[in-house]
């Protein structure tokens, strides 16, 4: 018999309306923290930081020490998957990720068919270390990128404003797209299973580029691949909990809920929880969704934004978060104010 979880985030993921709602922040380890910038300089490259368990553990813990968030998210990146599959991935200071684009059959054939888990051993070691070093009440989250978001980077070789290269590929060469997405579904499922085995208690799937997909491509490139990952993970590890974040996926949320894809659905900052929550079944947990710019602004916009979300989610299973990742220019004191306001509810 499984016991009822005591950690607040896990209780919400089981459908319990915990009050005040637990809180963590997407991209909570990062450049807005001076201590992150200090560790980052020691590490060499960004990927060195991801693959050095002692340092990755340290930057994962930094936001927990400061703010006592209810969840801690593994420090890594969604692009370690293409990297492990054999694609060249670099992080260029001030420019973001750069990859050697995968555009031809020949590029695709050079990628590994199965995810070489041994290349990701440092990531699993980071999770194991964190299980020992996190406070008892903090939930440890693992994550991966959703196949469409990761494929967009793999095809374009960089972030693009509206993922035009990957979208064009989906129209011109659907067989290539299906093969790439399928490879990523399998790799991501294996990766998440191993993260759970290494100590992650729940995982988040980031579909950061969901907003780029036209309705005709959404199901085959986003909803179905995510559904297959969640199904594969839960078949292998029934206790694993999943948060699904589809940025720009507002009009599809009720279908994720109806299909039982994910224990929690994360709302981006364009959605009004007061309107969206009543359209979702009461047992489906939600997460979000303060505008990251309201957090930068602070003051009244921050307070009003937080209070609106709190009143909309009262009585429902909800995890407080931003509606997308925290930005490097965010004042650290505003994060403290956010946490105090949510915890004072
Ligand atoms: O604290 C955490 O959330 C854990 C770590 C984490 C990072 N990236 C660290 C990181 C997580 C969960 C991610 C996910 C990620 N990576 C996403 C999905 C989430 C989202 O925000 O939409 C995406 C699209 C990526 C790809 C990626 N990695 C980009 C676009 C960049 C450059 C961004 C930038 O602001 O320069 C990265 C690099 C990256 N990943 C940084 C961090 C802290 C900054 C790099 C640095 O410190 O030099």
DSSP string spanning 228-280?
HHHHHHHHH-TT-EEEEEETT-GGGHHHHHHTT--SEEE--TTS-HHHHGGGS
Residue 55, ligand 1, Cβ within 6 A: no
Give the number of residues written for the chain.
Answer: 345
Mean pLDDT of 157-173: 96
Q: How distant, in Å, are the alpha carbons of 5, 18, 303, 312 from that of 308?
A: 28, 17, 9, 6
**Cα–Cα distance, 129 to 47 (Å, whole number):** 18
133 is in an annotated binding site: no
250 is in an annotated binding site: no
Query: Which of 78, 244, 292 gets mutated to test ligand 1 (max ligand atoms within 8 A of its CB)?
Result: 78
Examine the pLDDT at 1 and tell me if it is beyond 60.
no
Query: Which of 23, 30, 65 gets mutated to test ligand 1 (max ligand atoms within 8 A of its CB)?
Result: 30
341 is in an annotated binding site: no
Residue 208, ligand 1, Cβ within 6 A: yes
CA 330, 333, 334, 336 dihedral sign is positive
Examine the pLDDT at 158 and tell me if it is beyond 80.
yes
Instruction: Say what the pLDDT of residue 2 is.
Output: 58
Atom of ligand 1 nearest to the CA of 145: 18
Q: Quote the distance between the C-alpha of residue 279 and its chain's center.
A: 23
Q: Show me where the domains of the chain are located.
A: 8-343
pLDDT above 70 covers a percentage of the chain that reads 99
CA-nearest residue for atom 10, ligand 1, is 77
Q: If residue 97 lies in a helix (H) or strand (E), which one and from where to where?
A: strand 96-99
Mean pLDDT of 17-39: 98
Nearest Cα neighbor of 29 from 137, 109, 119, 143 is: 143
What CATH number labels 8-343? 3.20.20.210
């Amino acid at each position: 018999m499984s016991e009822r979880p005591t950690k607040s985030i896990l209780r919400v993921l089981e459908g319990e309306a915990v009050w005040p709602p637990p809180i963590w922040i997407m991209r909570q380890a990062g450049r807005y923290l001076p201590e992150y910038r200090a560790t980052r300089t020691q590490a060499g490259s960004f990927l060195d930081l991801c693959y050095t368990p002692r340092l990755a553990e340290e930057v994962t813990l930094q936001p927990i020490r400061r703010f006592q968030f209810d969840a801690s998210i593994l420090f890594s990146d969604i692009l370690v998957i293409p990297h492990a599959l054999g694609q060249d991935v670099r992080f260029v200071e001030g420019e973001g990720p750069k990859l050697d684009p995968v555009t031809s059959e020949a590029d695709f054939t050079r990628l590994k068919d199965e995810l070489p888990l041994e290349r990701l051993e440092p990531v699993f070691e980071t999770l194991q270390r964190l299980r020992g070093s996190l406070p008892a009440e903090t939930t440890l989250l693992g994550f991966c990128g959703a196949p469409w978001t990761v494929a967009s980077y793999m095809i374009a070789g960089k972030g693009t404003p509206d993922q035009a290269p990957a979208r064009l590929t989906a129209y011109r060469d659907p067989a290539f797209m299906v093969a790439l997405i399928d490879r990523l579904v399998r790799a991501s499922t294996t990766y998440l299973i191993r993260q759970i085995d290494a100590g992650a208690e729940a995982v988040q799937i980031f579909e950061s580029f969901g907003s780029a997909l036209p309705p005709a491509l959404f199901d085959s490139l986003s909803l179905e691949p995510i559904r297959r990952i969640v199904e594969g993970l839960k078949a292998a590890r029934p206790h694993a909990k999943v948060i699904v974040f589809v940025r720009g996926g507002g009009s599809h949320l009720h279908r994720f809920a109806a299909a039982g894809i994910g224990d929690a659905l994360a709302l981006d900052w364009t959605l009004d929880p007061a309107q969206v929550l009543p359209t979702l079944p009461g047992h489906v947990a939600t997460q979000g969704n303060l505008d990251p710019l309201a957090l930068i602004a602070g003051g009244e916009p921050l307070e009003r934004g937080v209070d609106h979300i709190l009143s909309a989610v009262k009585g429902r299973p909800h995890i407080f978060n931003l509606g997308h990742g925290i930005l490097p220019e965010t004042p650290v004191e505003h994060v403290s104010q956010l946490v105090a306001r949510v915890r004072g509810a």
